[in-house]
Structure 1
Amino acid sequence: MAEEDIDERPYRVVLDDEEQYSVWLADRELPLGRHAEGAESTRAECPAHIGTVWTDLRPLGPRRQMERAARG
């Protein structure tokens, strides 16, 4: 990996209202409906965190609909 490919800026894992995760630069303001989830980290470490906490990739809305349908 070339030295210019190493990004050492702080990033954070972000969660939206549909419980979908993304990675944002830590110094950027988050849009409405999103909040920081976890501590600041490197760009390389954030996806590893997401991989451990995001176990159901379906958005919250469809998950709730499926749960209601399963209950009858």
Structure 2
Amino acid sequence: MSNPFEDADARYQVLVNGEAQYSLWPVALACPDGWTVVLDDDSRAACLAYIEEHWTDMRPASLVRADHG
């Protein structure tokens, strides 16, 4: 069985959690608890581009809030 997270021909979605962390996720798998779909059913390349554009601060949101007092 091949890794569903590395299949260039599969369809993916982009998830985000409460800490504003992003994840590439195969559409064939259920969205895990605590995550929300922010981009649905697109190519792997398009999803990775979306993540690169939108996830500009790798720190968890709680750390960002703490830094800004």
**When the two structures are superposed, what TM-score results if normalisation uses the length of structure 2?**
0.80
| Deviation per residue, 1:27-56 (Å, 9 max, x gap) | 211111101012321112211111111121
Percent identical across equivalent pairs? Answer: 31
Judging by fraction of residues, say which structure has more strand: 2
Q: 1:6 to 1:34 in 2, by over 3 A?
A: closer
Q: 1:6 to 1:13 in 2, by over 3 A?
A: closer
Q: Distance in 1 between matches of 2:8 and 2:60?
A: 30
| Ranges in structure 2 where 5+ consecutive residues have no aligned partner | 1-5
Whose radius of gyration is greater, 1 or 2?
Answer: 1
Unaligned runs of 5+ in 1: none
Q: Report the Cα offset of residue 6 of structure 1.
A: 6.1
Higher helix share: 1
Give the match for residue 56 of structure 2.
55
TM-score by length of 1: 0.77
Q: How many residues align?
A: 64
Deviating runs (4+, > 3 A) in structure 1?
Answer: none
Aligned match of 1:44:
45
